[in-house]
Amino acid sequence: MTRVTRNPVQCCVVGIGQSEYTRWGGIQDRSQFQVTAEAILAALADAGLSPADVDGLASFSNDANEPNLMQVALGIPELRLAAMVWGGAGGGTCGGISMACSAIQTGQADVVVAYRGLCQGQGRRFGRHGQGRVNGNFVDPFGALAPPQMLAMIVQRFMHLYPITHEHLAEVALNARANANRNPNAVMHARRLTREDYFAARWIAEPLRLYDCCLETDGAAAVVITSLERARDLRAPPVAILSSAHGSGPGWGGGALTSHNMPDEDYASTNGRRVARQVFGQAGLTPGDIDVAQIYDHFSGMVLMTLEDYGFCGKGESGDFVASGKLRWPDGGMPINTAGGQLSEAYVHGMNLVVEGVRQMRGSSTSQVPGAATCLVTGGSGVAPTSAMILGRL
């Protein structure tokens, strides 16, 4: 099917790379920095490029793998862009890529690598209580000490307002695990999950059970971005970045991770409706034009909200949407998280979702959607800022 975009394609993903993915604390023989550098080098090799071709590095959410040090470690001659999206945890997944595209389009960089590396078993663990979180005084006294507790309140409100059930949450988790079982790189590749297993699991923070919560993993992933003109001469088939955006709605502040002071009409949401309008508008597409999606799945209930906020179904209709099997590969109308997502492949703050989106456009996923020409990727939800992008097959 021919896709018509409002704006001509200017930037492409030309290389993808990742380390091995292990359970939390599984990588001990190299530092987090080394693992991240390996993912970057793998992405460059995939593109047929070397560090000498790179002049930009981008990441998000207080990434500890600092670009100036990465420049020296990799032997990058000149660094013209060193960009990072502030805060928002995984909300910046696609934001770093958006900044890379802006730099390339304005001539401030030619080849940018966007990356994320997490080996939390070696040191700081994201979300752990007492690590200097801003505005913790608004949530800590009430026992909301970690992201599952903080986001559980949004999901609980969502399930109170609309006909969303635990069966609907289970569908998201079971879909992710089924896809991971086909992906040999997934942490949960060899571990099946049944509906009985899901409902027998312990509560983490109601309404979230164990399998509603993302994995804790060690690993890194990276993508190489350049202009369409240069992309055509490289080794890997280029994947078009049809649109990308990041930002936040009014009054969100730190969202669920801090004050819970977002406007009432936005509380049971992802904070993504405005970003959704941007990415669809830039690409000249509608939700009906999306063939496959990689939706940030830190918690299953947030996936349901994302489906609604991005227009795949109406408000309160996501339960029926997933119950119909539309998320399932290969027969669903819009399969999601085809490598297993963060619930079952790995938790790399969503960069693994970007890598899988590129694989879908290349036709190389372990759960390939036949003929897929567009892929939506979303950043972390229920946080601020958040982000999204749409990839397309050229």
Tell me whether residue 310 is one of the annotated catalytic residues. no
- From its phi and psi, is residue 303 left (phi > 0), alpha (psi between -120 and 50) or beta? alpha
Tell me whether residue 267 is one of the annotated catalytic residues. no
* Catalytic residue from among 21, 115, 267, 347: 347
* Catalytic residue from among 162, 198, 267, 296: 296
Contact criterion met (CB below 8 Å) for 360 and 292: yes
CA atoms within 13 A on the CB side of 38: 14
With H, G, I as helix, E, B as strand and everything else as coil, classify residue 292.
strand
Rounded alpha-carbon distances, angstroms, from residue 294 to 147, 297, 378: 21, 9, 7
Cross-strand partners of 118: 219
Exposure string for 294-313, b = 16+ CB within 10 A, e = fewer: bbbbbbbbbbbbbbbbbebb
Q: What is the CA radius of gyration of the chain?
A: 19
* Helix (H) / strand (E) containing 118: strand 111-119
CA distance 15 to 344: 24
**How many other C-beta atoms lie within 10 A of the C-beta of residue 284?**
15
**Residue type for 108, please?**
Q
- Chain-centre distance of CA 203, in angstroms? 25
Q: Where are the alpha helices (DSSP H) in the chain?
A: 32-47, 67-74, 95-105, 147-161, 166-180, 195-200, 228-231, 264-267, 273-283, 300-309, 318-323, 341-344, 351-362
CA distance 53 to 341: 31
Judged on CB neighbours under 10 Å (0-12, 13-18, 19+), 34 is middle
What residues are labeled active site?
296, 347
